[in-house]
Chain A
């Protein structure tokens, strides 16, 4: 199961952010050191080839580590499972959304009546995303995930909504006049309640 949010949090908080903070602290400390110390004459040293070589090797190692962990996380996030518990067809259009569920239930809306994507908790949901007109993007900040919606080119991805609750979704690719208003809601409900909802009349 692809937990996009956990992949993001792990990668960001356990690796990228600490590395960035260390780099910033080191560089800023060096600059402060240069500005505060007393030193009237420059050092005659031209280059420090060995130090520079070691430093470059160090940088390459950092890059390799970042890339390695990124590849791993990415493979998991982009993975499309063999079988999904639920398949939803998402159509983006100027300026709203259409969610089509198996069995015929559909939810359509623009910002006037915000469409709500109802999904079951804890299950792999397979999305097939396409646009009816220009490029849009399906973005759920809570899940740390977005994917572009192209016309004529459906794209598929899996998401898992771990916890019950309601949170916002938006279009994230500038799509014209009312891009700012092109939003939707996400409501994650327990599996049993979702099954009942699916059977309801729209």
Chain B
């Protein structure tokens, strides 16, 4: 077997920061997203500390409003969306047998716009009047010059626009890669489940991100003298532009992780993913429906067609249920799963996202939403989907693919401790919020009355947040330990199924330095092993 002559890889900061290698770009993007997760996590701890009991003990109203705004903004615009797309940037070319991503420098540009945008948005904190404080949603007219004169708001608008453009570019290059660079033999119905989830993700990104970019630029203009939203319907029109993006984005933050979990579950259940084609179709249906539900965020305005949006929103349970059928079906039809850390995070995903999704079906009913909208119930709902779902799914992906990326395992003991802390902490933090919201506690409040009966549950939630924070520390320790005293992993330590496991760990510059195996299904490596097994028996 000949080994291709490998160009010596440049090292150092610039070689990583300006690399055109999609693997490096993906890792740099993920690293930046993770920094945002840590910073935003600290803000979350501030929120929970303030809400632990009644009274403004830590933060003034004004400071609190900046904290929750920048927490939500960082988590959505700078952490979860870029992280979900970063998984695609790294894995998609490998999974489809390509040597590179389409438009490497465009992809690199997307990453840097995400970074500069985040920096600009957060720089509001160091201005005299502070950072933006109108929520990640920045509704008009609250976000207008008259009510939010601070420079931080303009910085937020510029920064957020930049991050959106960055993510839009990423969605474009990833999609183009799947459509144009598949290895010979790899038809669309043979790409891995994760790659299908990326296709659906990118299909949503492309038409939904531009309206938000336009909406924010128009708001920027409005704040500087141009009358855009200052008409009777202005505030509503802003919300249409915003939510048309902001609903699909929650699925952009979710689909790649459902794909990752599917790969993890299939690998450790030792069988191909169950119901592949139904899942591929349901991902497309799910993505299409997600584009048509945005009005459910506006039920209480009394100004959207509640029936249409509750119909399309409730309909989401069909493709979501089919995906659950696939994941749980894979587990049921598989061997008793090997309980690695990645598998634990995948199980946690299945259990907790379910609560998030079901609470979503509840708020899809306007009659029920009229009560719980803008309360802690909704906060619980989206944290179960985004934390219990996406974040747990992200860590499943990290523990699963870390050996491929670095050539070394993450420690299993620390990993399981990390999972336990996250699982327990997450439920302690967010389950009480369902009850608090039902009992009438609103969201986005710096304080609550002492006689409202909210205190005990808030205290529990704060304890939960501390447990989650501990889990993050354990993870960081795990990464440091695993890199300093690496346990080598090899090409395919898990006995996995898809092409990224065919190459070395970490992969070479051009991804594959030996010919690919025959591609006759979405699990080429599994097929190869089964064929070898058959030959040996014969």
Contact, chains A and B (beta carbon distance below 8 A): yes
Q: What is A's interface to B at a CB cutoff of 8 Å? A: 4, 7-8, 11-12, 16, 20, 23-24, 27-28, 30-31, 33-35, 37-49, 52, 55-56, 59-60, 62-63, 66-67, 70-71, 73-74, 77-78, 94, 133-135, 137, 139, 141, 144-148, 150-153, 155, 157, 168, 170-181, 183
Complex interface: chain B residues within 8 A of A28 (CB): 351
Q: What is B's interface to A at a CB cutoff of 8 Å? A: 61-62, 65, 134-135, 139, 141-142, 147-148, 232-233, 235-236, 269-272, 274-278, 300-303, 306-307, 310-311, 314-315, 317-318, 321-322, 324-325, 328-329, 331-337, 339, 347, 350-351, 354-355, 358-359, 361-362, 365-368, 370-371, 373-375, 439-440, 442-449, 452
Q: Which 7 A-B pairs have the closest CB atoms?
A: A141-B440, A42-B271, A180-B445, A144-B371, A172-B374, A174-B444, A134-B142
Tell me the complex Cα distance, A181–B148, Å.
19
Complex interface: chain B residues within 8 A of A144 (CB): 370-371
From A42, A59, A78, contact of B317 by CB (8 A): A59
Nearest-CB distance from B258 to chain A (Å)?
A: 15
Complex interface: chain B residues within 8 A of A181 (CB): 61, 447
Q: Is the CB of A146 within 8 A of B300?
A: yes
Tell me the complex Cα distance, A168–B445, Å.
16
Given A147-B302, A180-B448: A74 and B335 interface contact (C-beta under 8 Å): no
Complex interface: chain A residues within 8 A of B361 (CB): 16, 20, 66
Nearest-CB distance from A39 to chain B (Å)?
A: 5
Tell me the complex Cα distance, A152–B234, Å.
10
Nearest chain B residue, comparing its CB with the CB of A62: B317
Nearest-CB distance from A164 to chain B (Å)?
A: 19
Tell me the complex Cα distance, A18–B188, Å.
40
Nearest-CB distance from B327 to chain A (Å)?
A: 10
Nearest-CB distance from B277 to chain A (Å)?
A: 7
Complex interface: chain B residues within 8 A of A66 (CB): 314, 361, 365
Could you write out 26 A-B pairs with CB less than 8 Å apart?
Answer: A8-B370, A11-B367, A20-B362, A27-B328, A31-B351, A42-B270, A42-B334, A47-B277, A47-B278, A48-B275, A48-B329, A49-B278, A52-B275, A52-B325, A70-B368, A74-B307, A133-B147, A139-B374, A141-B371, A141-B440, A148-B301, A151-B141, A172-B375, A172-B442, A174-B142, A177-B65
Nearest-CB distance from A26 to chain B (Å)?
A: 9
Nearest chain A residue, comparing its CB with the CB of B56: A180
Q: Is the CB of B328 within 8 A of A31?
A: yes
Given A11-B368, A62-B317, A174-B135: A137 and B337 interface contact (C-beta under 8 Å): no
Nearest-CB distance from A158 to chain B (Å)?
A: 12
Nearest-CB distance from B428 to chain A (Å)?
A: 18
Nearest-CB distance from B189 to chain A (Å)?
A: 12
Given A24-B354, A155-B302: A39 and B236 interface contact (C-beta under 8 Å): no
Interface centre among A11, A139, A174 (most CB of B within 10 A): A174
Nearest chain B residue, comparing its CB with the CB of A44: B271
Tell me the complex Cα distance, A173–B297, Å.
12
Tell me the complex Cα distance, A70–B311, Å.
9
Q: Is the CB of B306 within 8 A of A150?
A: no
